[in-house]
Amino acid sequence: MPWNMNDYPSSLKNLEKPVRKKAIDIANAMLDEGYDEGKAIPIATKQAEKWYDDAEKQEIDEYMDNERVTPGSSSEYESRPELMEKAELVESHENGWAVRSKDAKQPAAVYDKKNDAVKRAKEIAEKQGTEAVIYKKDGSIETRYSY
């Protein structure tokens, strides 16, 4: 479940508002990537506190001026920036078709229809300037899209 500034885990309650907002953004991204809530929250909190300690006041102010918490789908690799350079894969999954970054352990999402998974992988790959690799059900490569 994606969190926002009005609905978030109680462990974030005592954080300063910018730290809480950043932690929510990071945690949402990690959940989208397939992390467990129990792991995402402490990792996101630690990263948000580090960001706050290292950020200039102007950066924090600009971040806070954007009232919306970033939905996980648009920042899904913020928690692991090294995945931004990896290809997006569409693979057969027990529940349909999975979209995951090449080195990610778990899929970012699983779709019932392959077309939906391909569309999402292409969107992510285009945004990140990488490639989308589409696999057949038997595990062989069907198509590659480079961006």
3-state secondary structure 32-84: HCCCCHHHHHHHHHHHHHHHHHHCCHHHHHHHHHCCCCCCHHHCCCCCCHHHH
**Would the pLDDT of 79 be above 80?**
no
Q: What is the pTM of this model?
A: 0.48
In a domain, 35, yes or no: yes
Domain that holds residue 62: 10-74
From 40, 74, 108, the end of a domain falls on: 74
pLDDT for 85 equals 62
* Adjacency order of strands within the sheet including 141-146: 109-111, 96-101, 88-93, 131-135, 141-146
Number of domains the chain contains: 2
Instruction: Please check whether residue 57 lies inside any domain of the structure.
Output: yes
pLDDT for position 1: 55
Same domain? For 46 and 91 the reply is no
